[in-house]
Structure 1
Amino acid sequence: MRRIALITLVVDDYDEAIRFYTGALGFRLAEDAPRPDGSRWVVVEPGDRAGTALLLARAGTAPQRARVGDQTGGRVGFFLHTDDFARDHARMRAAGVTFLEEPRREPYGTVAVFEDLYGNRWDLLQPAPDAR
Structure 2
Amino acid sequence: MRIHLTNVFVDDQDKALRFYTEVLGFVRKHDVPLGEDRWLTVVSPEDPHGTELLLEPSGHPAVRPYKTALVQDGIPAASFAVDDVRAEFDRLRRLGVRFTQEPLETGTVTTAVLDDTCGNLIQLVHTT
Shorter-chain TM range is 0.7 to 0.9
The residue number in structure 1 matching 2:41 is 43
Could you say which residue in structure 1 is the equivalent of 2:26? 27
Given that 2:85 and 2:112 are in contact with CA atoms closer than 8 Å, whether structure 1 keeps it comes out as no
Q: Deviation digits for residues 96-118 of structure 1, max 9, x if unmatched? A: 21112321222132221222113
Supply the RMSD in Å over aligned alpha carbons: 2.3
- Separation (CA, whole Å) in 2 of partners of 1:103 and 1:118: 21
Contact 2:110 2:125 in 1 (8 A): yes
Q: Is the 8 A contact 1:11 1:68 kept in 2?
A: no
| Distance (whole Å) between structure 1 residues aligned to residue 17 and residue 46 of structure 2 | 17
Aligned length: 126
Checking the alignment, whether the CA contact within 8 Å between 2:12 and 2:118 is kept in structure 1 is: no
Q: Which structure 2 residues correspond to residues 63-78 of structure 1 after superposition, within 5 A? A: 63-68=62-67, 70=69, 74=73, 75-78=75-78
Match of 1:124 in 2: 124
Which secondary structure does the structure 2 equivalent of 1:102 belong to? strand
Amino acid at match of 1:24: V
TM-score, length-scaled by structure 2: 0.80
Gaps of at least 5 residues in structure 1 are: none
Structure-1-length-normalised TM-score: 0.78
Superposed displacement of residue 69, structure 1? 5.5
* 1:112 corresponds to: 112
SS of structure 2 residue aligned to 1:117:
coil
Is the CA contact 1:68–1:118 (under 8 Å) kept in the aligned structure 2?
no
